[in-house]
Structure 1
Amino acid sequence: MGFPERLKALRLEANLTQKEVADKLGISRPAYTYWEKGEKVPTPDKLPTLANLFKVSTDYLLAHSDFRTVEEAELSEVEMLFRATSLDMTDEEKAVFKQELLDFMKERQKLFDEDKK
């Protein structure tokens, strides 16, 4: 699925018309329609606005990633790390390892939150 198809799918998921999206972007409906048809592409300044409108990353919008958000991509990396490092573990060891990872992440988040204060 390329940019035009992804753009249309996101618009339909959001229950928006082409006109509504165009209005939110400050462009004409025909200009937006060209994007969905793949006849033209948005200017670089419109990409972040589009991504924010649909609550996805620009990489997802441009079909450079199948992860809708940066957070999804990061979680996928953690999952891959867990899988790669737990290959030779028993189910019991995997359960302990998983819990230790979760505990570590919770503690780390607390420290990040304290730093923000």
Structure 2
Amino acid sequence: MKINEVIRAKRLELGMTQEQVATRLGVSTPAVNKWERGASYPDITLVPALARLLKTDANTLLSFQEDITQEQNIAIQRTVDRLVRE
């Protein structure tokens, strides 16, 4: 799962609204909405608080995988290259 999917799924599991998440983290409701749509990402400094709020850990929130395939590695590199160019 991507981070936006994890945020949305965990928030819904806990019965929280986007507004409640935003209030607890000190961000705007539209910011949380953008995270869940994949239009933007939470600031890295919010990751620990967001993980605690959603009752998960940072690795799960960030979809960390111990091992990735060569194809996944190449896809990540291409995504980073594209984002840097933008």
Q: TM-score, normalised by structure 1?
A: 0.54
Listed as ranges, the matches of 1:78-89 within 5 Å are none
Q: Kindly state the Cα deviation for residue 57 of structure 1 after the two structures are TM-superposed.
A: 1.0
Give unmatched runs, 5+ long, in structure 2. 66-86
Structure with max Cα Rg: 1
Q: TM-score, normalised by structure 2?
A: 0.72
Deviation digits for residues 70-99 of structure 1 (CA, Å, limit 9, x no counterpart): xxxxxxxxxxxxxxxxxxxxxxxxxxxxxx
Given residue 4 of structure 2, which amino acid in structure 1 is its aligned partner? P
Taking the aligned partners of 1:64 and 1:31, their CA distance within structure 2 comes to 23
Q: Kindly state the Cα deviation for residue 11 of structure 1 after the two structures are TM-superposed.
A: 0.1
Q: Kindly state the Cα deviation for residue 52 of structure 1 after the two structures are TM-superposed.
A: 0.8
Partner of 2:51: 51
Q: Kindly state the Cα deviation for residue 64 of structure 1 after the two structures are TM-superposed.
A: 1.0
The SS at the match of 1:15 is coil
- The RMSD of aligned alpha carbons is 0.9
Alignment: residue pair count: 65
Structure 1 segments of 4+ aligned residues over 3 angstroms from their partners: none
